[in-house]
Amino acid sequence: MHRRLLGQGLEVSAVGIGAMGMSQSYGPNPGDRDAMIAVLRGAVERGVTFVDTAEVYGPYVNEELVGEALAPLRDQVTIATKFGWHIADGRMQGTDSRPEQIRRVADASLRRLRTDTIDLFYQHRVDPDVPVEDVAGAVGELVAAGKVRHFGLSEAGAGTIRRAHAVHPVTAVQSEYSLWTRDPEPEVLPTCAELGIGFVPFSPLGKGFLTGTVDAGTTFAEGDIRHRVPRFSAENRAANAALVDRVRELAVSRGATPGQIALAWLLAQQPWVVPIPGTRRIERVEENAGATAVALSADDLAGLDALAGAVGVQGNRYDDAGMAMVGL
């Protein structure tokens, strides 16, 4: 696994791993905690050393899982986690990025992660009630105190990124980005390029759609987040199939999997793009890591771009409430 630079000199594996699905969102949660610990440790053994979690995943239990799994390997990994929610009765109750809350969350996350320093601390969503300058200042104080190494933003718009970066350097912006989610391209990616900020795509495989294993007939288990995502209605899955068909064809011609083609497309966009596909299976970790060896030609990339533009994508990537919190 080769390595890439995000902003501020933070070097990470070219493909990371998102740990969220090990605790929530994709059907029944795994009952075997030891199995998930084995997947995380196995990922590190295979060179996937950039691990993403958040206090709200669970809540809390995902950070605890990551902390237990990676404590013996702490000097080999880069751990990213997130703040920015008011959590009560085990549920998100709206955003909360007040400086005092950021400090509380940092201390609690450090305990759960069994570490002295958070490598990358993202604001999970922009808080409309707290100026991002105050957020950046609070994280800057945590950096000065040695509790945090780097500051990040998630699903923030270009203007917010600029305002935050003017107060404390932003190392990475995390947003959904893939062949079928191109929202960051017009403004956010050029802003990152200008300011020297890395970009971390989550859901780089389109919540599984771009792996070719989901179609109009797929039935999702109870508790699967895709039940409430408009893009995953049966009608929209059928309408979006043309893009996956082309990815599958290209995969066959390259001796790769559709998922590897989708990740290789992302890796080809910029040298500071580092996707974080999630999985619960070590064989998927290996498959995702293998995307770094898949070379796409200029014609391949242009063809995928042209097809994505021609067929379009049907359905929003969040419900209305989720879409209202994106790009602030």
**Local confidence pLDDT in tens for the 328 residues of the chain:** 999 999 999 999 999 999 999 998 776 677 789 999 999 999 999 999 999 999 999 999 999 999 999 999 999 999 999 999 999 998 999 999 999 999 999 999 999 999 999 999 999 999 999 999 999 999 999 999 999 999 999 999 999 999 999 999 999 999 999 999 999 999 999 999 999 999 999 999 999 999 999 988 898 888 889 988 999 999 999 989 989 999 999 999 999 999 999 999 999 999 999 999 999 999 999 999 999 999 999 999 999 999 888 888 999 998 898 999 998 8
- Closest CA relative to residue 96, chosen from 116, 109, 115, 82: 82
In the prediction, which pLDDT does 311 show?
82
Our answer to whether residue 122 is catalytic in this structure is no
Predicted pLDDT of residue 28? 67
Which residue in the block uniquely carries the two structure tokens 């100026």? 131
pLDDT on residue 27: 67
pTM of the model: 0.96
d(CA 273, CA 119): 17
Please write down the HEC assignment for all residues of the chain: CCEEECHHHCEEECCCEECHHHCCCCCCCCCCHHHHHHHHHHHHHCCCCEEECCCCCCCCHHHHHHHHHHHHHHHHCEEEEEECEEEECCEEEEECCCHHHHHHHHHHHHHHHCCCCEEEEEECCCCCCCCHHHHHHHHHHHHHCCCEEEEEEECCCHHHHHHHHHHCCEEEEEEECECCECCCCCCHHHHHHHHCCEEEEECCCHHHHHHCCCCCCCCCCCCCHHHHCHHHCHHHHHHCHHHHHHHHHHHHHHCCCHHHHHHHHHHCCCCCECCCCECCCHHHHHHHHHHHHCCCCHHHHHHHHHHHHHHCCCCCCCCHHHHCCCCC
pLDDT of residue 312: 84
Amino acid type, 173: V
pLDDT at position 310, please?
86
Q: What is the CA radius of gyration of the chain?
A: 19
Residue 94 · residue 121 · CB < 8 Å = no
pLDDT score of 102:
98
Q: How many CA atoms lie within 13 A of 140 on its CB side?
A: 13
Q: What is the pLDDT at residue 29?
A: 73
| pLDDT at residue number 309 | 87
Domains of the chain as residue ranges with CATH: 3-207+270-293 (3.20.20.100)
Active-site pick, 57, 60, 122, 318: 57
